[in-house]
Amino acid sequence: MGILNNAFNKKDKKKEVKAPLILSMPMFKGDSGYSLEKVIEDLKSYWGLTVDQIEGDDTTALFEIGEERVVIALMPAPIPAEEFESMYSYSYLWKDAEKEVKEHTQHAIVSLLAGNTSAVERYSLLTKVNASILRTCETAIGVYQGSSTLLLPKKLYLDFAHFLLEDMLPIQLWVYIGIINGDEKSSVYTYGMKEFGKSEIEIIDADMKGSEVYDFLLSVLEYVLQQDVTLHHGETIGFTEEQKIKITESEAIYLEGTSLKIEL
Protein backbone atom coordinates (compact mmCIF):
# COMPACT_ATOMS: atom_id res chain seq x y z
CA MET A 1 0.00 0.00 0.00
CA GLY A 2 3.03 2.27 -0.29
CA ILE A 3 1.75 3.86 -3.48
CA LEU A 4 -1.53 4.76 -1.79
CA ASN A 5 0.24 6.25 1.21
CA ASN A 6 2.53 8.29 -1.01
CA ALA A 7 -0.35 9.45 -3.20
CA PHE A 8 -2.58 10.63 -0.37
CA ASN A 9 0.26 12.26 1.54
CA LYS A 10 1.93 13.93 -1.45
CA LYS A 11 1.71 17.72 -1.34
CA ASP A 12 1.32 19.89 -4.42
CA LYS A 13 3.59 22.83 -3.69
CA LYS A 14 2.78 24.71 -6.90
CA LYS A 15 -0.99 25.11 -6.52
CA GLU A 16 -3.52 25.71 -3.82
CA VAL A 17 -5.75 22.67 -3.38
CA LYS A 18 -9.38 23.59 -4.05
CA ALA A 19 -11.43 20.52 -4.95
CA PRO A 20 -11.80 17.57 -2.56
CA LEU A 21 -11.18 13.91 -3.29
CA ILE A 22 -13.94 12.20 -5.29
CA LEU A 23 -14.36 8.47 -5.75
CA SER A 24 -16.46 5.64 -7.14
CA MET A 25 -16.47 1.85 -6.89
CA PRO A 26 -16.53 -0.47 -9.93
CA MET A 27 -17.69 -3.96 -8.96
CA PHE A 28 -16.48 -7.35 -10.24
CA LYS A 29 -17.58 -10.98 -10.19
CA GLY A 30 -15.13 -13.86 -9.88
CA ASP A 31 -11.46 -13.81 -8.97
CA SER A 32 -10.05 -11.24 -11.43
CA GLY A 33 -10.31 -7.47 -11.45
CA TYR A 34 -8.99 -4.71 -13.67
CA SER A 35 -5.83 -4.88 -15.80
CA LEU A 36 -3.82 -1.69 -15.36
CA GLU A 37 -2.18 -2.11 -18.76
CA LYS A 38 -5.54 -2.47 -20.53
CA VAL A 39 -7.10 0.44 -18.61
CA ILE A 40 -4.21 2.77 -19.52
CA GLU A 41 -4.37 1.71 -23.17
CA ASP A 42 -8.14 2.35 -23.28
CA LEU A 43 -7.73 5.78 -21.69
CA LYS A 44 -5.30 6.62 -24.48
CA SER A 45 -7.02 4.99 -27.46
CA TYR A 46 -10.73 5.46 -26.66
CA TRP A 47 -10.64 8.77 -24.80
CA GLY A 48 -7.50 10.26 -26.37
CA LEU A 49 -5.96 11.08 -22.99
CA THR A 50 -2.30 11.48 -22.12
CA VAL A 51 -1.41 9.35 -19.09
CA ASP A 52 1.80 10.16 -17.19
CA GLN A 53 3.71 9.08 -14.08
CA ILE A 54 2.25 5.55 -14.07
CA GLU A 55 3.08 3.51 -10.98
CA GLY A 56 1.78 0.26 -9.55
CA ASP A 57 0.02 -2.84 -10.85
CA ASP A 58 -3.35 -4.60 -11.02
CA THR A 59 -3.73 -4.28 -7.26
CA THR A 60 -2.83 -0.64 -6.61
CA ALA A 61 -2.07 1.95 -9.26
CA LEU A 62 -1.34 5.67 -9.44
CA PHE A 63 -1.13 7.85 -12.54
CA GLU A 64 -1.64 11.43 -13.69
CA ILE A 65 -3.90 12.82 -16.40
CA GLY A 66 -3.40 16.53 -16.93
CA GLU A 67 -3.53 18.17 -13.52
CA GLU A 68 -5.36 15.27 -11.91
CA ARG A 69 -3.86 12.43 -9.88
CA VAL A 70 -5.79 9.15 -10.15
CA VAL A 71 -5.56 6.17 -7.79
CA ILE A 72 -7.10 2.73 -8.40
CA ALA A 73 -7.07 0.18 -5.59
CA LEU A 74 -8.53 -3.33 -5.89
CA MET A 75 -10.34 -4.56 -2.78
CA PRO A 76 -10.56 -8.41 -2.71
CA ALA A 77 -13.98 -8.37 -1.02
CA PRO A 78 -17.49 -7.18 -1.89
CA ILE A 79 -18.82 -3.83 -0.76
CA PRO A 80 -20.70 -4.45 2.53
CA ALA A 81 -24.28 -5.50 1.79
CA GLU A 82 -25.75 -2.93 4.17
CA GLU A 83 -24.54 -0.16 1.82
CA PHE A 84 -27.19 -1.23 -0.70
CA GLU A 85 -30.14 -2.43 1.38
CA SER A 86 -32.11 0.81 1.11
CA MET A 87 -31.09 1.48 -2.51
CA TYR A 88 -32.52 -1.45 -4.44
CA SER A 89 -36.11 -0.19 -4.37
CA TYR A 90 -35.24 3.06 -6.15
CA SER A 91 -32.36 1.94 -8.41
CA TYR A 92 -34.54 2.07 -11.52
CA LEU A 93 -31.55 2.42 -13.85
CA TRP A 94 -30.46 -1.15 -12.98
CA LYS A 95 -33.37 -3.52 -13.53
CA ASP A 96 -31.90 -6.55 -11.71
CA ALA A 97 -29.76 -4.57 -9.29
CA GLU A 98 -30.47 -6.60 -6.16
CA LYS A 99 -29.74 -9.96 -7.79
CA GLU A 100 -26.67 -8.86 -9.75
CA VAL A 101 -25.05 -6.63 -7.14
CA LYS A 102 -25.26 -9.44 -4.59
CA GLU A 103 -23.17 -11.57 -6.95
CA HIS A 104 -20.14 -9.27 -6.92
CA THR A 105 -17.12 -10.64 -5.07
CA GLN A 106 -14.70 -7.71 -5.12
CA HIS A 107 -14.52 -4.05 -6.06
CA ALA A 108 -12.08 -1.30 -6.87
CA ILE A 109 -11.93 2.19 -5.41
CA VAL A 110 -11.24 4.78 -8.10
CA SER A 111 -10.17 8.10 -6.59
CA LEU A 112 -9.31 11.50 -7.97
CA LEU A 113 -7.16 13.16 -5.36
CA ALA A 114 -7.69 16.78 -4.38
CA GLY A 115 -7.22 18.93 -7.48
CA ASN A 116 -7.81 22.33 -9.01
CA THR A 117 -10.05 21.74 -12.03
CA SER A 118 -13.83 22.18 -12.02
CA ALA A 119 -16.19 19.57 -10.60
CA VAL A 120 -17.61 18.85 -14.07
CA GLU A 121 -14.12 18.27 -15.48
CA ARG A 122 -13.22 16.03 -12.56
CA TYR A 123 -16.39 13.95 -12.76
CA SER A 124 -15.88 13.67 -16.51
CA LEU A 125 -12.43 12.22 -15.91
CA LEU A 126 -13.71 9.91 -13.16
CA THR A 127 -16.34 8.66 -15.61
CA LYS A 128 -13.72 8.00 -18.28
CA VAL A 129 -11.58 5.98 -15.88
CA ASN A 130 -14.59 3.96 -14.71
CA ALA A 131 -15.66 3.34 -18.31
CA SER A 132 -12.17 2.17 -19.28
CA ILE A 133 -12.22 -0.29 -16.38
CA LEU A 134 -15.66 -1.60 -17.35
CA ARG A 135 -14.84 -1.86 -21.06
CA THR A 136 -11.58 -3.76 -20.56
CA CYS A 137 -12.71 -6.12 -17.78
CA GLU A 138 -15.10 -8.99 -18.57
CA THR A 139 -15.84 -9.57 -14.88
CA ALA A 140 -16.94 -5.97 -14.24
CA ILE A 141 -20.69 -5.65 -13.63
CA GLY A 142 -21.23 -1.97 -12.85
CA VAL A 143 -20.37 1.03 -10.67
CA TYR A 144 -21.49 2.20 -7.25
CA GLN A 145 -21.47 6.01 -7.01
CA GLY A 146 -22.07 6.37 -3.31
CA SER A 147 -22.02 10.17 -3.12
CA SER A 148 -25.18 10.23 -5.25
CA THR A 149 -26.65 6.86 -4.13
CA LEU A 150 -26.38 5.49 -7.66
CA LEU A 151 -26.09 1.86 -8.75
CA LEU A 152 -25.21 1.78 -12.45
CA PRO A 153 -24.99 -1.38 -14.61
CA LYS A 154 -22.08 -1.85 -16.99
CA LYS A 155 -23.83 -1.41 -20.36
CA LEU A 156 -25.79 1.64 -19.27
CA TYR A 157 -22.66 3.20 -17.78
CA LEU A 158 -20.71 2.73 -21.01
CA ASP A 159 -23.58 4.07 -23.12
CA PHE A 160 -23.94 7.24 -21.06
CA ALA A 161 -20.16 7.72 -20.69
CA HIS A 162 -19.94 7.87 -24.49
CA PHE A 163 -21.86 11.17 -24.29
CA LEU A 164 -18.57 12.79 -23.27
CA LEU A 165 -17.21 12.20 -26.79
CA GLU A 166 -20.21 14.13 -28.14
CA ASP A 167 -19.72 17.15 -25.81
CA MET A 168 -22.71 16.07 -23.72
CA LEU A 169 -22.74 15.44 -19.98
CA PRO A 170 -23.68 11.97 -18.63
CA ILE A 171 -25.73 13.51 -15.84
CA GLN A 172 -27.47 10.20 -15.10
CA LEU A 173 -24.07 8.84 -13.97
CA TRP A 174 -23.50 11.74 -11.58
CA VAL A 175 -26.84 12.83 -10.11
CA TYR A 176 -29.70 10.67 -8.88
CA ILE A 177 -33.05 11.85 -10.23
CA GLY A 178 -35.97 10.57 -8.17
CA ILE A 179 -39.37 10.22 -9.83
CA ILE A 180 -42.63 10.22 -7.86
CA ASN A 181 -45.66 9.33 -10.00
CA GLY A 182 -49.05 10.19 -8.55
CA ASP A 183 -52.52 9.55 -9.93
CA GLU A 184 -52.65 12.89 -11.73
CA LYS A 185 -49.47 14.73 -10.81
CA SER A 186 -45.75 13.95 -10.87
CA SER A 187 -42.75 15.07 -8.83
CA VAL A 188 -39.00 14.78 -9.37
CA TYR A 189 -35.95 15.61 -7.28
CA THR A 190 -32.16 15.51 -7.49
CA TYR A 191 -29.60 14.02 -5.14
CA GLY A 192 -25.96 14.77 -5.91
CA MET A 193 -25.96 18.37 -7.18
CA LYS A 194 -24.14 19.27 -3.96
CA GLU A 195 -21.10 17.48 -5.42
CA PHE A 196 -20.93 20.29 -7.97
CA GLY A 197 -21.47 23.10 -5.48
CA LYS A 198 -25.10 23.51 -6.58
CA SER A 199 -28.42 23.34 -4.75
CA GLU A 200 -30.60 20.26 -5.04
CA ILE A 201 -33.71 20.82 -7.17
CA GLU A 202 -37.28 19.59 -6.80
CA ILE A 203 -40.33 19.88 -9.04
CA ILE A 204 -43.41 19.12 -6.94
CA ASP A 205 -46.87 18.05 -8.18
CA ALA A 206 -46.50 19.03 -11.81
CA ASP A 207 -49.50 18.45 -14.09
CA MET A 208 -47.36 16.37 -16.43
CA LYS A 209 -46.32 12.77 -16.90
CA GLY A 210 -43.32 11.67 -14.84
CA SER A 211 -41.25 11.14 -18.01
CA GLU A 212 -41.99 14.69 -19.18
CA VAL A 213 -41.04 16.24 -15.84
CA TYR A 214 -37.89 14.08 -15.80
CA ASP A 215 -36.89 15.30 -19.26
CA PHE A 216 -37.47 18.92 -18.27
CA LEU A 217 -35.39 18.57 -15.12
CA LEU A 218 -32.62 16.87 -17.10
CA SER A 219 -32.53 19.89 -19.43
CA VAL A 220 -32.21 22.19 -16.42
CA LEU A 221 -29.38 20.13 -14.94
CA GLU A 222 -27.57 20.06 -18.29
CA TYR A 223 -27.83 23.87 -18.45
CA VAL A 224 -26.73 24.41 -14.84
CA LEU A 225 -23.72 22.08 -15.03
CA GLN A 226 -22.63 22.74 -18.61
CA GLN A 227 -22.76 26.53 -18.20
CA ASP A 228 -21.80 26.54 -14.50
CA VAL A 229 -24.95 28.48 -13.60
CA THR A 230 -26.08 29.03 -10.02
CA LEU A 231 -29.83 29.36 -9.62
CA HIS A 232 -31.20 31.61 -6.87
CA HIS A 233 -34.44 32.09 -4.97
CA GLY A 234 -36.74 34.57 -6.73
CA GLU A 235 -35.27 34.09 -10.19
CA THR A 236 -37.04 32.57 -13.20
CA ILE A 237 -35.86 30.04 -15.73
CA GLY A 238 -37.06 29.22 -19.23
CA PHE A 239 -35.93 27.77 -22.53
CA THR A 240 -37.80 30.31 -24.67
CA GLU A 241 -38.14 34.10 -24.42
CA GLU A 242 -41.72 33.72 -23.25
CA GLN A 243 -41.13 30.95 -20.73
CA LYS A 244 -40.55 32.31 -17.20
CA ILE A 245 -40.74 29.59 -14.58
CA LYS A 246 -40.44 30.73 -10.98
CA ILE A 247 -37.69 29.41 -8.70
CA THR A 248 -38.13 29.38 -4.93
CA GLU A 249 -35.99 28.03 -2.11
CA SER A 250 -37.73 26.30 0.78
CA GLU A 251 -37.60 23.19 2.96
CA ALA A 252 -37.15 20.12 0.78
CA ILE A 253 -39.98 17.63 0.36
CA TYR A 254 -38.04 14.49 -0.62
CA LEU A 255 -34.61 15.50 0.75
CA GLU A 256 -33.07 16.78 3.94
CA GLY A 257 -32.48 20.51 4.27
CA THR A 258 -33.64 22.97 1.64
CA SER A 259 -34.02 22.74 -2.12
CA LEU A 260 -34.81 24.96 -5.05
CA LYS A 261 -38.35 24.39 -6.32
CA ILE A 262 -39.12 24.88 -10.00
CA GLU A 263 -42.83 25.56 -10.30
CA LEU A 264 -44.15 23.93 -13.47
With 0-12 CB in 10 A as exposed, 13-18 as middle and 19+ as buried, what is 140?
A: buried
Instruction: Give CA–CA dist 54/61, Å, rounded.
Output: 7
- Residues 98-114: pLDDT tens digits? 999 999 999 999 999 97
* Start-end of CATH 3.30.1400 domains in the chain: 2-8+15-167
How open is the CA angle 53-57-62, to the nearest 5 degrees? Answer: 35
- List, for residues 29-79, the tens digit of each pLDDT value: 999 899 999 999 999 999 999 999 999 999 999 999 999 999 999 999 999
pLDDT band at residue 19 using 50, 70 and 90 as cut-offs: confident
* pTM recorded for the entire structure: 0.92
pLDDT at position 14: 42
Say if residues 63 and 133 touch (Cβ distance below 8 Å). Answer: no
Hey, which residues does 223 pair with through a beta bridge? none
2-8+15-167 topology per CATH: Cell Division Protein Zipa; Chain: A, (3.30.1400)
Percent of the chain with pLDDT over 70: 93
pLDDT band at 18 (very low <50, low <70, confident <90, very high): low
Q: Which of 181, 187, 196, 131 is nearest to 159 (CA)?
A: 131
Task: Give the separation between CA 220 and CA 239, rounded to whole angstroms.
Answer: 9
Strands laid side by side in the 186-191 sheet: 176-181, 186-191, 201-206, 258-262, 245-251, 236-237
- For residue 60, list its beta bridge partners: 73
What tens digit of pLDDT does each residue of 200-253 get? 999 999 999 999 999 999 999 999 999 999 999 999 998 888 889 999 999 999
